[in-house]
Structure 1
């Protein structure tokens, strides 16, 4: 589980709740079902029009991916695996890798690239196929990132719409008395609060989180591709290790 997301959300909620309590307010004053329905229902509807129903069905999977990203590939482990395969290919030949892959427990993308090398595909074909895989993955990730970005853009606008609706409702009942006027205006502005809060604490941060995860996975696959091409070309395992570590030099500094 990505504790960063849960921790960030907890800090955001606690900071806002704490500020309300410090000013002597009541948390229940910020609970309003109608404002909630306007923001989240309106945002979902507008996002569905912008994207598609199929993309909206992907939302639970996107949230799951953000919270539970799965097994994270560590650079040192990937490099060690590629160097080990390079040593095997150098000593026993490329075909010897076929018996090593099932026991390696490596990424399916890496296995697919090695299988292309074992099958005798030339360097150009291997590079093109693996780059196409990376591009397809990035396109798929971009759709998910854009969905949360779109929701973050619509939510504040839906908040304004909800506030205007609330004010119209309050003003239409102005002749009945002014006792509940202040409460009615406060409830109306809750929609704006929900819209801004959901955009800046939920939707946009989630979009940013998925973007970072996508960039990390893309970078790791590019390293795998270079490692596989190095194995295919018969690059010295030590030289291959140095080459692959150079991809992470900026992160180590």
Structure 2
């Protein structure tokens, strides 16, 4: 579990709840069914219309990724592991690492080094891995964009609800009993839109973006390391190249 994500979500919603409690009127006045329908229903409807069904199915897995710790090793550990594999191959040959590669949990790393075990040449290996990374990047970008669009849509639906409430209020100024409910719709839809956009969609989008960058950085290091091993570069050159990338990424 990613403590920062879960903690941020929990703390954000808890602070809103605390503010409502301290306001002294309880939760009742902050619950409005028309506002819920406009903001939450409208956001779901617009998001469903913007993306393909195959992408929408990935919403729940994407949320799980945001809530859980990244499965990619830190770059220093990854560089050390690639260097270890390179050394083993130099000393004992590529078949010496076959069993250890099969035990790897990082699917991208496993695939890259399985290609080495299979004797794939550098000029073939690198394009294969880069193509796979491109597809991963596209898939992740779609998921990140989905939550980004969801956050923007929630804010827009909040504004639409505000206008709906204001029109209803202005149309019934002669009836004092109807002004209150119409004003509630006007104000609460804005509040719901801001909460959904900021304390859910925006937070998930930001965390997925960070995890995506870490994953892409790691995969690029794997591609370079595996390609240099396939090209039979010296251990010194491999170390130097990977460490220079490490310094650049971690800045």
TM-score (normalised: structure 1) = 0.88
Structure 1 residue runs of 5 or longer lacking an equivalent are none
Deviations 1:173-216 (A, max 9, x none): 443x3255245413431001111221122212211211111111
CA distance in 1, matches of 2:85, 2:59: 38
Deviations 1:147-181 (A, max 9, x none): 11111111111112212222333344443x32552
Q: In structure 2, what is the equivalent of residue 108 of structure 1?
A: 107
Quickly say closer, same or farther: Cα 1:51–1:146, change in 2 above 3 A.
same
Judge conservation of contact 2:95–2:117 (CA < 8 Å) in 1: yes
Judge conservation of contact 2:162–2:189 (CA < 8 Å) in 1: yes
CA distance in 1, matches of 2:231, 2:105: 21
Give 1:191's match in structure 2, choosing from 185, 189, 192: 189
Judge conservation of contact 2:161–2:185 (CA < 8 Å) in 1: no
Distance apart, 1:237 and its partner CA: 2.9
- 1:170 paired with 2:169, answer yes
TM-score (normalised: structure 2) = 0.88
Higher mean alpha-carbon deviation, 195-204 vs 114-123, is at: 114-123
CA distance in 1, matches of 2:105, 2:17: 45
Q: In structure 2, what is the equivalent of residue 202 of structure 1?
A: 200
Distance apart, 1:133 and its partner CA: 0.8
Q: CA RMSD in A?
A: 2.3
CA distance in 1, matches of 2:106, 2:153: 38
Specify the SS of the correspondent of 2:232: coil
After superposition, residues 25-174 of structure 1 pair within 5 angstroms as 25-69=25-69, 71-103=71-103, 105-174=104-173
Distance apart, 1:40 and its partner CA: 1.2
Distance apart, 1:24 and its partner CA: 4.7
Q: In structure 2, what is the equivalent of residue 226 of structure 1?
A: 224
CA distance in 2, matches of 1:99, 1:8: 41
CA distance in 1, matches of 2:121, 2:193: 54
Quickly say closer, same or farther: Cα 1:11–1:174, change in 2 above 3 A.
same
CA distance in 2, matches of 1:157, 1:114: 48
Judge conservation of contact 1:83–1:238 (CA < 8 Å) in 2: no
CA distance in 1, matches of 2:52, 2:105: 35
Distance apart, 1:100 and its partner CA: 3.1
Deviations 1:18-52 (A, max 9, x none): 44455555443222232112111101111222222
- Paired residues, number: 251
Q: In structure 1, what is the equivalent of residue 10 of structure 2?
A: 10
Structure 2 residue runs of 5 or longer lacking an equivalent are none
CA distance in 2, matches of 1:129, 1:43: 39
